[in-house]
C-alpha cells in the first residue's frame, strides 16, 4: 500500500487562507501558521492551489514561471520552511500543476510570437487562417473562439481552450513533455510529495480541420474535440514514467472535470503509468432545474438527488474496484460551496455533519475544501458588478440581453458562481474573521462560523469533523469493501467490511424520523450527529440524522 492510499486531503486556496503581511492576500506563511490546525482536524495531506509566478488572469492557473513562487504568496525560503514543518508534522504537500497551458507572459510564448525562428513556436498549437477566419468553429470554455490571432502575424492563430491569455501547450512535441516533467522533478527535489494535474484530460486535441456540428452557438464548446482523446493516455504515460522514475512514491492526483467512471479507470489502471486517483466535477448527486432554458446550465438552480448520488457512487465504486480509489468530495474552488448550491436546510448544522459522514466514510480518498469543516458558507455579494470572473461576466451580459433583472442575476451568481467559494478563511470573531487586518482581496457578506468558536464547542461541525476523520482512519473505513444497501428512498446507507469487522453508515435525508433494520451483528455506535436509538435490531434516526456503527468479529 502507498502512503496516498490513506490520504485525507485538505485543499487550501492560498490567497484566501491566511494573510500574514496585511496586504489582503493570503500567503505561504499563513499556511505555515496553521499546519497544526490542519493536522488537528484529521487531515494528513495538503493540496495547494497554484503558487507559481502568474499574472493572475485565472487566479494562478496562468503560469509565467514554473520555477519560482509568486511574490504575492512569498518566496522559496517560505516554501522550504513550509515543506520542512509540514513533513515534521507528518503532513504531505501536493502542488496544483497546470499542464495544459501557460500564461501568454511565459518566456516560451513570448519568444514564440516575437522570434520568427523561435524553437518555442512548436511548444504551442498554431494554424493559419482559413478563408479569412478562424481555422474552425470550436468554442473556448471561457467563451468565444479557441483561436486568437498572433499579435505579430494576423494570419496566424494560436489555440487557447481557456482565456486567450492562456495558450495551450502542444503535447505532440516531445520537448514539451520533457519540459513539464522537468518542472515536476524540480519541485520534487524541493520536497513536494505529489501533484494535482490540472486539466490533464485536455492535453490532446483532435484534427484541427474539423468543425463542431453543434449549431446553437457561433463557437460551441464541444469537448468532443479536446477532452479524453486517445492520445491523452500516451502523453500522460510519458510524463508519469519520467516522474515515477525520479521519485516512485509521488502522488499523481488527476483533475478530469468531465470524466466518467470508466474514464477514471482507464487513467488509473495499475502498472499502466497513469494517475493514482482521478477527481471529476460530476459526483455531487446534483440535478438541475432546466425549466428556464435561457439560463446557462452551470447557473441553473440545483438540488441534491439522493437517487442520483446512490447511482453515481455505486457505479464509481464498482468500476474502480481493484483499479484505484474514488475521490470523495463535495466541491472545490471551481464551484460554489455545497451548503449554498443545493436545496438543503442550511440553517441546520446537522446537515453539514451528515453530508460529511455520507461522503467521507465511503471507500476512497477524502478531499475537504478549506472551511468546509466549519460548515462555512460562500460569500454573498451585494451587486452584480462585484463579480469579475469570466464566467460571471459572460452570464451578466447574456442574461441582461434577455431582459433578466439584476436582482435575479445576482441570486444566480451568489448561489452558483465559483468566486463565492474563494472567500477568506474564518479564524475568529474579529474584523475580517482574523484572516487579515486589511480588507481581503475577495470580500463580501459571510456567515459567522469560525475556527476559534467551533473548536470550543463539543457539538460543532468542526468537532464532528475531528471525530469523523479519526473514524475514517479505522481499518474498516479505510480498507473495507463497499456495499451500497437497498433502503427507503430518503435513506443513504452502506456497509464497509474487512475480515475482522464491519462498518455501517446510515444517513436520513428526511424531515421525519426513520427506522432501519440492522444487518446481523453486535453493533456499537461510533459517531452520530445527535442521539440515535438502537433496540431490537433496529436503529431509529431523527430527521437529518446520521450514524456510523461498527461490529467486531
* Helix residue spans in 221-348 (DSSP H): 230-246, 261-268, 306-320, 338-341
The answer to whether residue 475 is catalytic is no
Distance separating alpha carbons of residues 279 and 335, to the nearest angstrom: 14
Task: Work out the end-to-end distance of the chain between its first and last CA atoms, rounded to an integer number of angstroms.
Answer: 24
What are 318's three cell numbers? 464498482
Q: What are phi and psi of 363, to 5 degrees?
A: -70, 125
User: 78, 198, 418, 542: which one is catalytic?
Assistant: 198
* Helix residue spans in 417-490 (DSSP H): 451-454, 461-472, 475-479
> Are the C-beta atoms of residues 78 and 20 closer than 8 Å to each other?
no
What are 8's three cell numbers? 485525507
Crossing angle of helices 349-360 and 461-472, in 10° steps, is 10
The answer to whether residue 198 is catalytic is yes
Measured in whole angstroms, the distance separating CA 17 from the mean position of its chain's CA atoms is 16
Identify the helix (H) or strand (E) that includes residue 430.
none
The dihedral of CA 107, 112, 115, 120: what is its sign?
positive
DSSP secondary structure letters along 69-109: E-TTT--HHHHHHHHHHHHHTT-EEEEEEE-SB--TTSHHH
188 CB neighbour count, 10 Å cutoff: 17
What are 325's three cell numbers? 480509489
CA atoms within 13 A on the CB side of 205: 22
User: 62, 255, 372, 417: which one is catalytic?
Assistant: 255
Residues acting as catalytic residues: 198, 255
Amino acid at each position: 500500500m502507498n502512503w496516498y492510499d490513506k490520504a485525507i486531503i485538505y485543499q487550501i486556496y492560498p490567497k484566501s487562507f491566511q494573510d500574514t503581511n496585511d496586504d489582503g492576500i493570503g500567503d505561504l506563511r499563513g499556511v505555515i501558521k496553521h499546519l497544526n490546525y490542519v493536522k488537528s482536524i484529521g487531515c494528513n495531506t495538503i493540496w495547494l492551489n497554484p503558487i507559481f509566478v502568474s499574472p493572475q488572469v485565472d487566479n494562478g492557473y496562468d503560469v509565467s514561471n514554473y520555477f519560482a513562487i509568486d511574490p504575492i504568496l512569498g518566496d522559496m525560503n517560505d516554501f522550504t520552511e513550509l515543506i520542512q514543518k509540514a513533513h515534521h508534522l507528518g503532513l504531505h504537500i501536493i502542488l496544483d500543476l497546470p499542464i495544459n497551458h501557460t500564461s501568454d507572459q511565459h518566456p516560451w510564448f513570448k519568444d514564440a510570437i516575437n522570434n520568427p525562428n523561435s524553437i518555442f513556436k512548436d511548444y504551442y498549437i498554431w494554424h493559419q487562417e482559413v478563408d479569412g477566419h478562424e481555422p474552425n468553429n470550436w468554442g473556448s470554455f471561457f467563451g468565444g473562439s479557441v483561436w486568437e490571432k498572433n499579435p505579430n502575424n494576423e494570419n496566424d492563430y494560436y489555440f487557447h481552450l481557456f482565456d486567450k491569455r492562456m495558450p495551450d501547450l502542444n503535447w505532440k512535441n516531445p520537448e514539451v513533455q520533457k519540459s513539464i516533467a522537468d518542472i515536476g522533478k524540480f519541485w520534487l527535489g524541493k520536497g513536494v510529495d505529489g501533484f494535482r494535474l490540472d486539466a490533464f484530460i485536455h492535453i490532446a486535441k483532435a484534427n484541427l480541420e474539423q468543425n463542431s456540428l453543434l449549431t446553437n452557438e457561433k463557437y460551441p464548446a464541444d469537448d468532443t474535440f479536446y477532452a479524453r482523446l486517445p492520445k491523452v493516455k500516451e502523453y500522460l504515460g510519458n510524463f508519469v514514467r519520467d516522474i515515477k522514475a525520479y521519485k516512485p512514491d509521488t502522488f499523481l492526483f488527476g483533475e478530469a472535470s468531465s470524466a466518467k467512471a470508466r474514464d477514471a479507470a482507464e487513467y488509473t489502471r495499475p502498472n499502466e503509468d497513469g494517475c493514482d486517483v482521478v477527481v471529476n466535477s460530476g459526483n455531487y448527486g446534483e440535478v438541475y432545474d432546466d425549466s428556464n432554458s435561457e439560463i446557462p446550465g452551470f447557473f441553473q438552480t440545483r438540488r441534491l438527488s439522493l437517487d442520483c448520488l446512490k447511482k453515481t457512487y455505486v457505479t464509481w465504486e464498482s468500476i474502480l474496484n481493484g483499479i484505484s480509489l474514488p475521490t470523495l468530495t463535495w466541491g472545490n474552488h471551481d464551484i460554489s460551496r455545497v451548503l449554498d448550491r443545493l436545496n438543503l436546510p442550511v440553517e441546520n448544522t446537522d446537515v453539514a455533519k451528515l453530508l460529511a459522514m455520507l461522503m467521507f466514510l465511503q471507500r476512497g480518498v477524502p478531499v475537504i475544501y478549506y472551511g468546509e469543516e466549519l460548515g462555512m458558507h460562500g460569500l454573498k455579494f451585494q451587486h452584480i458588478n462585484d463579480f469579475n470572473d469570466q464566467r460571471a461576466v459572460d452570464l451578466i451580459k447574456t442574461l441582461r440581453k434577455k431582459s433578466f433583472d439584476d436582482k435575479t442575476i445576482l441570486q444566480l451568481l451568489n448561489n452558483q458562481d465559483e468566486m463565492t467559494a474563494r472567500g477568506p478563511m474564518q479564524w475568529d470573531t474579529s474584523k475580517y474573521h482574523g484572516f487579515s487586518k486589511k480588507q481581503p482581496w475577495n470580500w463580501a457578506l459571510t456567515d459567522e462560523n469560525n475556527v476559534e468558536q467551533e473548536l470550543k464547542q463539543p457539538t460543532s461541525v468542526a468537532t464532528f469533523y475531528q471525530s469523523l476523520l479519526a473514524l475514517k482512519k479505522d481499518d474498516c473505513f479505510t480498507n473495507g469493501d463497499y456495499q451500497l444497501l437497498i433502503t427507503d428512498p430518503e435513506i443513504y446507507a452502506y456497509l464497509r467490511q474487512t475480515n475482522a469487522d464491519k462498518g455501517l453508515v446510515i444517513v436520513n435525508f428526511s424531515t421525519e424520523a426513520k427506522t432501519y433494520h440492522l444487518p446481523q451483528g453486535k453493533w456499537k455506535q461510533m459517531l452520530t450527529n445527535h442521539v440515535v436509538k438502537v433496540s431490537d435490531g433496529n436503529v431509529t434516526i431523527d430527521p437529518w440524522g446520521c450514524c456510523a456503527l461498527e461490529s467486531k468479529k
